[in-house]
Structure 1
Amino acid sequence: MSGPAPRRRSWAIDTTPLRNPAYRRLFWGVAATMLGQQMTLVAVPFQVYALTGDSLMVGVTSIVALVPLIVFGLLGGAIADSMDRRRLMLVTSVGAAVTSVLLAGQALLPGEGNLAVLWVLTACVSAFAAVNQPTRSAVIPALVGPAGVPAANALSMTVRQAAVIAGPLLAGVLIGAGELFLAYAIDALGFLAAAVLLRGLPALPPGRDIGPLRLGAAVRGVGEGFVFLRTQPVLLMTFVVDIVAMCFAWPQAVFPELSENRFADSPNSLGWLFAGVSIGALLMGLTSGWVSRVDRQGAVVLGAIAVWGVAIIGFGWAQSLWLAVLCLAVAGAGDMVSAVLRSSMLQLAAPEEMRGRMQGVFIVVVAGGPRLGDLRAGALASAASVSVAMVSGGVVVVLAMALVAVLVPSFWLFRASRTAV
């Protein structure tokens, strides 16, 4: 009679953290913002192209968003270690909501809006998100305790992957119906809902005395974070392995070429290619109950990234759309496991007073790695071929993970159960 329940818990996503009222507020706040954020990520480049008719300007818009993400991702982590994190999440959520309202308003301007205004608001959205995201991650251990961190991360990342799939689809429907305004408005409503939920959280001070918040102190805090990181090989390698995986095997830049050439006869091949990684990540998230019980987290991270590399090798050779999407889904599943465990290692192995800064670096790496990967893949695909770009990158990733296991044994041997923090 009682046999099936343990088996289900062994694979189904672990929802135990949702029993915690404080984490439940944080979780639903994340869920409320994710869908709108993904819609905005579609709406902004669409509007830029509608205004300019130039794909180069769409690319420039990506840099406009990336620069504040890097700057405020690092500063935001330092700020999160210098003030009450509940208050910081409230401020950034309200700021993002106001910016999204302004985005919705400019979408109603005559002539499809104004490019300069759109760029300024895009930079503001990116800056608020860059401070908000590391702060949200930094408070998770305080809300659920060390044992609940992997499961809490899996829940948050699963919601994100669902939004990555649903958000662009809904944005496409609204934009096709001429309702660009609504795409931005939904984003604003999501941030407002998050702010209401976050108000119910308890005070969440960092693990040190809080002094007056000054820009100079925040900048010094960033430097202190990097000095600390240099002395922690396990934490440093959580960033290095992800940079390697994204720089050498991020496939998105080759999707348009594959869609127009190799898979030209397959309906909506471009859409399926873009969805492939997220489909795998979402399925892994829904069956991630086992991830929260992993003790040898470093070893499993290296294995998961090696799976990513092997899957990208298969993707590079795939001659049919269904096989290519399957390989991308396997890659996405490996990336999901890696992301959950790397984030958990950062949250558990970093001391409380450093968690904001470590999550700030994490956000910068997650955002910057794929952009560097796009540059490498696009350049190599143009000079040689898509297969060469993807297969060579996947091989590098697999070999690099083997080298990390040999050269940095502290990462390979890392156990969550032995973490002192």
Structure 2
Amino acid sequence: MARRRLAALRSNLSMDLSPLRESRDYRLLVVGSVVTGLGTQATLVALPYQLYVQTRSPALTGLLGAFELAPLIAMSLWGGAIADRTDRRRLLLLVQIVLVLLSAGLAAGAYAGEPPIALLYVLGALLAGGNAVQNVCRTAIVPNVVPADRLRPALALNFGLMQVTMVVGPALGGVLIATGGLGTTYAFDAVTCLGMVASVLPLSPQPPRAVAADDVGVWRSIVDGLRFVRSRRALMGSFAIDLSAMTFGMPRTLFPVLSVSVYHAGATGTGLLNASVSVGATAAALTAGWLSSARRLGRIVIVAVVVWGLAIALAGAVPSLLFAVLCLAVAGAADSVSAVCRSTINQTVTPDAMRGRMSSVFSLVVQSGPRLGDVEGGAVASLTSARVSVVSGGLACVVGAGLVALAFPALAAYDVDHAEAELAAENAVVPAGARPG
């Protein structure tokens, strides 16, 4: 009996790798995403480092985020509209070629010496826009390359592997900068983008199952997508609760302050605090087999966000760096569970004809939340202290989760079996490849 229980526990915790075994296209997409993700994360370390080394100005270094925000928003929305009216494989391939050229441009500038700061801002902004389109395409493709009953393990595996790149990529970027210089780091990013090209080329065509009529312009398509998102209350709830969690409970901008002024651990402590969230998220995503049998995913999201907020608040209150790292790892694990469940909710309430545009809004929420959190955390810390900012932010996240649950009861009421049945019926209304008039 004990062995049976242990075997059942292992089955529930182990990652379901069946999507990799059963779908060639999914394997190609995952391999390409991991390879290019390592290069992307290395560049996310290299570009701010280069700006600071050349300017010695934290303000000018931080200004990179402002330059990235506008193209990120614009290209996410545009990419979502285009992904719902053309072959997503072809769009992903074109974007990868653009990213190769942009990374090569950064490498050439670094090898040449010190390129103009304005050029670094422009290339960084274009990279942010290109990566936004890439993320939208990849997200929209996944549900069409795995069977419906493998969607949840596919999303969990995809999220877990992306977290791995967020742990390994920055560390690899630091090593490349130290050993080969900035030019080598950017060249590595360009090569990894070519790796994604190699994965996308043999991918089968990925046209949306139903596309917008030819006479509907891109702007109208974007507006229709936003209206759709607003009409799906469970979808809106999943976006709102994540935005609340990241705005109030993501204190990444305060990690250096805590490490230097509270724990006296310097750069090493800063790295540990940053990495601990991703390590916890990776561990949870790769042991998320139990989510495959869960139905009430909305309730799991609400509980996970509450755990995230409490763990963040505790991380700001504990007296030592070790305890803070452990708390942040727990927070990362809770965020991972929330992310997998929210991704499933998003995909199962969205017909294929809307997946690109839904994914664009999802990308905006994921990208903008931490940036808003930087502003919120820094402002509160400047008025009080870093500890107070982290603790109050975590508690505000818990309150926000409760308010979102009240405002969007469809989130707590979400049932994956019911949603999948409704989605199958909705997708069946328009035959594959048809153009509704």
Normalising by structure 2, report the TM-score.
Answer: 0.92
Q: Paired residue for 1:124?
A: 126
Spell out the pairing of 1:190-339 with structure 2 (5 A cutoff): 190-209=192-211, 217-264=217-264, 268-339=268-339
Tell me, what secondary structure is at the counterpart of 1:287? Answer: coil
Matched, 1:342 2:345: no
How far apart are the structure 2 equivalents of 1:228 and 1:46?
40
Q: Paired residue for 1:187?
A: 189
Spell out the pairing of 1:92-111 with structure 2 (5 A cutoff): 92-110=95-113
Tell me, what secondary structure is at the counterpart of 2:330? Answer: helix
How far apart are the structure 2 equivalents of 1:164 and 1:194?
17
Identity among equivalent positions (%) equals: 40
How far apart are the structure 2 equivalents of 1:90 and 1:413?
39
How far apart are the structure 2 equivalents of 1:405 and 1:372?
21
Q: Is residue 51–residue 114 contact of structure 1 (8 Å, CA) maintained in 2?
A: no
Q: Paired residue for 2:77?
A: 74
Deviation track 1:257-302 (CA, whole Å, cap 9, x = no partner) reads: 1112110057821111111211111111221111233211100011
How far apart are the structure 1 equivalents of 2:41 and 2:265?
29
Q: Is residue 13–residue 288 contact of structure 1 (8 Å, CA) maintained in 2?
A: yes
How far apart are the structure 1 equivalents of 2:407 and 2:217?
36
> Over aligned residue pairs, what C-alpha RMSD do you find?
1.8
Deviation track 1:181-218 (CA, whole Å, cap 9, x = no partner) reads: 12111111111111111111221111324666x9x822
Q: Paired residue for 2:44?
A: 41
Q: Paired residue for 2:168?
A: 166
Spell out the pairing of 1:78-89 with structure 2 (5 A cutoff): 78-89=81-92
User: Which stretch shows the higher mean deviation, 262-271 or 17-26?
Assistant: 262-271
Tell me, what secondary structure is at the counterpart of 1:59? Answer: helix
Deviation, 1:399, is 2.1
Query: What is the identity, as a one-letter code, of the residue corresponding to 2:230?
Result: R
How far apart are the structure 2 equivalents of 1:158 and 1:183?
24
Matched, 1:90 2:93: yes
Deviation, 1:120, is 1.7
Find the partner of 2:25 among 19, 22, 29: 22
Deviation, 1:7, is 3.5
How far apart are the structure 2 equivalents of 1:267 and 1:45?
15
How far apart are the structure 2 equivalents of 1:345 and 1:254?
31
Query: What is the identity, as a one-letter code, of the residue corresponding to 1:354?
Result: M
Q: Paired residue for 1:378?
A: 378
Deviation, 1:376, is 0.7
Tell me, what secondary structure is at the counterpart of 2:175? Answer: helix
Tell me, what secondary structure is at the counterpart of 2:262? Answer: coil
How far apart are the structure 2 equivalents of 1:401 and 1:7?
30
How far apart are the structure 1 equivalents of 2:398 and 2:86?
41
Q: Paired residue for 2:153?
A: 151
Q: Is residue 306–residue 397 contact of structure 1 (8 Å, CA) maintained in 2?
A: yes
How far apart are the structure 2 equivalents of 1:14 and 1:401?
29
Q: Is residue 97–residue 194 contact of structure 2 (8 Å, CA) maintained in 1?
A: yes
Identify unmatched segments of 5+ residues in structure 2: 424-437
Q: Paired residue for 2:117?
A: 115
Q: Is residue 76–residue 363 contact of structure 2 (8 Å, CA) maintained in 1?
A: yes
Deviation, 1:119, is 1.7
Query: What is the identity, as a one-letter code, of the residue corresponding to 1:55?
Result: P
How far apart are the structure 2 equivalents of 1:28 and 1:267?
32
Q: Is residue 251–residue 374 contact of structure 2 (8 Å, CA) maintained in 1?
A: yes
